[in-house]
Structure 1
């Protein structure tokens, strides 16, 4: 049955838009995996030398063991940010004579060959060969490695469980997050010696090998926790679409004068105002207006241009980044209905464009007082606004056709990581890094203001040709709309 499900999943991936992502996105993901994999592999073969230099005269294995607990806590944090949940379009199998246990086991086992689970092997195995085996022997080293992999999988299954609980029981997830943060804070304040605890725990396995059963039992417990939770939520009535409550709200008279475009913008604004998750994005965007206070006014920061450009892009673009990274997932619940309406993709994207532009302009106006720190900030932030309006919006539209994860807007906004994954972070890279790369040659030639002008000029060109860029974006949307619809139905 596992092979059958794997075969179905593989065919589904081949036929889905996820497998047919753009070559550029796949190359970026591949390069990132290769980059971090190379770093960890290099670190694994050289960490015993690094530890010998940092801690002369001390046992490298003991020092390494002392760092493991902190590593696993950091690993949990990055898993929350980037690891996506394993999924299976389970509804087509529920009416078949297939054991529900097998379906759930498949979903959980599918998460094991994850990048986050394989990455530690790249530095743990080389360190084991260079340091642990010579000191303790091959048998004890293998038991030690099994213990570390059991803790890695414990993190994996804990992440899956709590990430699934974020929407249903956010307080449980909050308590879990507070516990992890508190442990790291107590270690920072020297109240709790995590390094000493970690050294004692993982060092004990090298002395008493039978203790490996402890992380194995914890891993099995986390696995069963996930198993029973998923099994309890695989009934058809749990998966079926619930009837939405009727929503009421007045018209926005000002938008009526813009015809069909105004109506679409009005619907978008109502969607934002009626759901907790979208309203939390508005709140976060408002809070982010104070981001500049962390940097402006500091002499070592004000002398450069690259970081000022980065901050300028973030100040006026954060509302667009927060909302745009999930497009068109906000309409995933009724996307099939949108496809049946007489709404062209050009109108659909135009409404989003003309909704985001005034918000970015408003953010720019509200951050004008930062100009008191220097005229350079005012020039850079103006260029950043033009770039966001003329270029970054269309970059978001370009990548939006790969957002096939359905968003349930009825779920709580607190700790809701639905739809968040590594692909979102990859999408954000060109938005923030590309303007700095445009500035870089001008900075190297010592003509920084020309670099700022180039960023603003490129944004101005985008604004001038926004109709053509919208038409190009609409053409891409048309080519991918059925793949988007299929992805929203399956997720």
Structure 2
């Protein structure tokens, strides 16, 4: 049955038009994987020599073992950001005489041959062959490798579980993320040494190979946790029947691979380039990139941090401030038509989110040359960019339900007060002032760089939890959509 399900998945992917359109991209991706795989393989066979030269008085195996806990914690972070959930269209199979257990096992085992689970072997296996086997023997070396594999798969299934819980129990996932970050901060603060703990734990494994049972039991436990969760949520009456939500839009082939979300992004981009009001907003955002010359290079401003944070937030976030302040007023002329279409509010805001993200990143890249005035400008603008995406963008979405003024897109922004109201002023205050308030206590304590790191970290948290935040935004939109429609009907 597992082979049958694998065959179905392969046919669904290979027959998809997205697969055909992305064939060149897949080939390039495969070549990159081969390239970096060769680098990791070379590093694995030579890592013991490199460590011996870098630390001549220490054992390469002890140094490698000391870094393993750091590796697994960093692995957790990258999995949280990049790893996708294994999925299977379960509904077509539930009415067939197929044991539900096999469907669940297939969904879980489907995640095992992932890039995060295989790439590390290119370093661990060569290091085991070149360093551990000559020192401890084949049996002990294999036990060490199996423990590393078990912990890698433990990370895999642990992140799958927490990502599935993200929409239902976001606080649980937040506590998990805070716990991982807390371990790193405690090590940085010197409360205890992760390096020493890791060295002792994996060193004990080499002395007592039977301890491999501990990571194996951890793996079994988290697998059972995932299994029970999926088993409890695969009943037909609990599955959400998704409507066929279609959005019209053609022209930008690249966006087609993102499905309905790509079509909404395409329609938004067409709206921007086809109307005076939206194009003038974009032009003003580009002109504002030169705002830094007013402040940068002057000792009055360069000696401190508060004003540089204000400038960094303003420059990297100007597209969000200028264009985002009128969301969803850009669609005011056809808002009633949007309400009659099968477009979910989540998709509506997700499309805008993924328009803003690359735009803010692009603006941030364009501000990097200001770094010639001082390295801290780059640090501040990096934190500001993360904060604008992870926090300010959702502040804009929060206030968007109060934008009830109809916009005439045929008129430019110059001397045009249409759509400007008290909500715009209230929205601008937290956008510009909040980062400075966050920084203020750290500035008074004389630790400005920790304050900048805090601003960036808050933005990173918002980016990590963008899906539940978008869902929260969509729920607010649903409560206010009829008030918005009534306001847009007024001339």
Q: TM-score, normalised by structure 2?
A: 0.56
Residue 157 (structure 2) aligns with: 157
C-alpha distance in 2 between matches for 1:163 and 1:358: 40
Q: 2 CA distance for matches of 1:71 and 1:109?
A: 23
Matches within 5 A, 1:203-352: 203-241=203-241, 329-330=260-261, 350-351=270-271
Q: Per-residue deviation at 1:27?
A: 3.2
Q: 1:90 to 1:28 in 2, by over 3 A?
A: same
> Who is 2:292 aligned against?
370
Q: Secondary structure at the match of 2:87?
A: coil
Q: Secondary structure at the match of 1:5?
A: helix
Task: Tell me, in whole angstroms, the C-alpha distance in 2 between the residues paired with 1:74 and 1:133.
Answer: 27
2:399 alignment partner in structure 1: none
Alpha carbons of structure 1 residues 10 and 358: separation in structure 2 relative to 1, 3 Å: farther
Q: 1:288: which partner in 2?
A: none
Distance 1:164 1:224 in 2: 14
Correspondences of 1:49-448 after superposition (within 5 Å): 49-241=49-241, 329-330=260-261, 350-351=270-271, 353-354=273-274, 357=279, 360-373=282-295
Question: Alpha-carbon deviation of 1:346?
Answer: 8.7
Matched, 1:45 2:45: yes
Please state how far the C-alpha of 1:220 moved relative to its aligned partner. 0.9
Q: RMSD of the alignment, in Å?
A: 4.1
SS class of match (1:77): helix
How far does residue 166 in structure 1 lie from its aligned partner after superposition? 1.3
Structure 2 equivalent of residue 13 of structure 1: 13
Please state how far the C-alpha of 1:363 moved relative to its aligned partner: 3.5
> Using the alignment, how far apart are the partners of 1:199 and 1:183 within structure 2?
16
Q: After TM superposition, give the deviation of residue 25 of structure 1 in Å.
A: 1.7
1:462-473 paired onto structure 2 within 5 Å: none
Determine if contact 2:18/2:257 at 8 Å carries over to the other structure: no
How many angstroms does 1:428 deviate by?
7.0
Asked whether the 8 Å contact 2:52–2:60 carries over to 1, the reply is yes
Q: Secondary structure at the match of 1:181?
A: helix
Ranked by relative contact order (alpha carbons within 8 Å, sequence separation 6 or more), the top structure is 1
Partner Cα separation in structure 2 for residue 149 and residue 241 of structure 1: 37
Cα gap change, 1:186 to 1:3, in 2 (>3 Å): same
CA 1:372–1:177 in structure 2 vs 1: closer, same or farther (change >3 Å)? Answer: same
Query: CA, structure 1 residues 149+326, in 2 after alignment: closer, same or farther (shift >3 Å)?
Result: same
Kindly tell me: are residues 353 and 3 of structure 1, through their superposed partners in 2, closer, same or farther at Cα, counting changes over 3 Å?
A: farther
Unpaired runs of at least 5, structure 2? 250-254, 298-314, 320-342, 370-491
Change (3 A) 1:27 1:99: same
Distance 1:161 1:358 in 2: 46
The separation in 2 between residues aligned to 1:228 and 1:359, in whole angstroms, is 51
Deviation at 1:155, TM superposition (A): 0.6
Distance 2:130 2:345 in 1: 51
Query: Hey, what's the Cα distance between the residues in 2 that align with 1:180 and 1:54?
Result: 29
SS of equivalent residue, structure 1 residue 167:
coil
Give structure 1 stretches of 5+ with no counterpart. 244-260, 265-323, 336-344, 376-380, 386-406, 440-491
For residues 307-351 of structure 1, the C-alpha deviation after alignment (integer angstroms, 9 at most, x for no partner) is: xxxxxxxxxxxxxxxxx899654489xx9xxxxxxxxx9967623
After superposition, what is the alpha-carbon deviation per residue over 1:202-249, rounded to whole angstroms, capped at 9, x for unaligned?
111111111101100111111111111111111223223379xxxxxx
What's the CA shift string for 1:114-168, capped at 9, x where partnerless? 1100011000000000000000000110011000000000010011111111111
Distance 1:226 1:359 in 2: 48
Q: CA deviation at 1:21?
A: 3.5
Contact 2:256/2:262 (CA < 8 Å) preserved in 1? no
Other structure's SS at 1:192 match: coil
Distance in 2 separating the partners of 1:354 and 1:184: 49
Q: Deviations over 1:367-394 (max 9, x none)?
A: 442132579xxxxx9xxx9xxxxxxxxx
Against the structure 1 CA distance between its residues 2 and 359, is the aligned structure 2 distance closer, same or farther, given a 3 Å change threshold? farther
Give, in whole Å, the separation in 1 of the partners of 2:344 and 2:206: 47
Q: Return closer, same or farther for 1:43/1:72 CA change in 2, 3 Å cut-off.
A: same
Mapped contact 1:44–1:125 kept (Cα < 8 A): yes
Q: Distance in 2 between matches of 1:62 and 1:185?
A: 23
**1:367/1:87 Cα in 2 relative to 1: closer, same or farther (>3 Å)?**
same
CA distance in 1, matches of 2:114, 2:124: 16
Residues 99/62 of structure 1: CA separation in 2 closer, same or farther (3 Å cut): same
